[in-house]
Amino acid sequence: MKIAPEAVWASSAAKLAGLHRQCFAQAWSEAEFASLLNLPGCTGWVCRDAGRFVALALFRQALDEAELLTLATHPDYRRSGHADVLLTCGEKALFDQGVERVFLEVSTANPGALALYARTGYGEIARRPAYYRDGSDALVLEKWLRKDGQTAP
Ligand SMILES: CC(C)(COP(=O)(O)OP(=O)(O)OC[C@H]1O[C@@H](n2cnc3c(N)ncnc32)[C@H](O)[C@@H]1OP(=O)(O)O)[C@@H](O)C(=O)NCCC(=O)NCCS
């Protein structure tokens, strides 16, 4: 399957919330997606299959830094490269906007996401003990998009 990410806007908030519900126990509402995507610097990306959203990523840029706000792939579409493609696509767009560093937070109880981020070049810079409701720690990870002459992702 060819994975072709595309930009998404606040007008798709209901579909984004629908996918989020299938991926997270504490999902974001349609209003939350709409509000985030209306913020300056917030960008969203999705992958579709037959018109249906199957993976999503949201980033927020502030000057030369950005945060990955959320990333999710529908359970039926996992381990097919969707999250990897969305990260690469989002990072490339941020790099083109002058972003040098991307941050994210991930639970120590999320081995799949930890493996994904390790593989895609994110490294740990901080830990927030017992940050999540399940008692797990949050790791703060960063990735430099432009360092020591490296080119775009
Ligand atoms: C984490 C998540 C986004 C990964 O999405 P995905 O589309 O399945 O990821 P990809 O197919 O792009 O995976 C790329 C690589 O990351 C690693 N990886 C991804 N999921 C993994 C898992 N469950 N276990 C181990 N490694 C994993 C692998 O190296 C994988 O490559 P491979 O399949 O060739 O081995 C998805 O499992 C998900 O939506 N989980 C629920 C929501 C969530 O936890 N989001 C992240 C919050 S920080």
Q: Which two tokens stand for residue 30?
A: 């349609």
Q: Kindly state the tokens that stand for 37.
A: 């995507």
Ligand 1: distance of its center to the CA of 83 in Å?
6
82 C-alpha to center of ligand 1: Å?
8
Hey, what are 120's tokens?
A: 């895609």
Which of 26, 76, 78, 137 gets mutated to test ligand 1 (max ligand atoms within 8 A of its CB)? 78
Query: What are the structural domains of the chain?
Result: 6-144 (3.40.630.30)
Using one digit for the tens of pLDDT, what is the confidence trace for 74-113?
999 999 999 999 999 999 999 999 999 999 999 999 999 9
pTM: 0.96
DSSP state of 137: P
DSSP letter (8 states) at residue 132: S
The H-assigned helical ranges of 71-120 are 82-96, 111-119
| pLDDT (tens place) for every residue of the chain, 153 residues total | 788 999 999 999 999 999 999 999 999 999 999 999 999 999 999 999 999 999 999 999 999 999 999 999 999 999 999 999 999 999 999 999 999 999 999 999 999 999 999 999 999 999 999 999 999 999 999 999 976 556 556
**How far does residue 113's CA lie from ligand 1's centre (Å)?**
5
Largest CA distance in the chain: 41
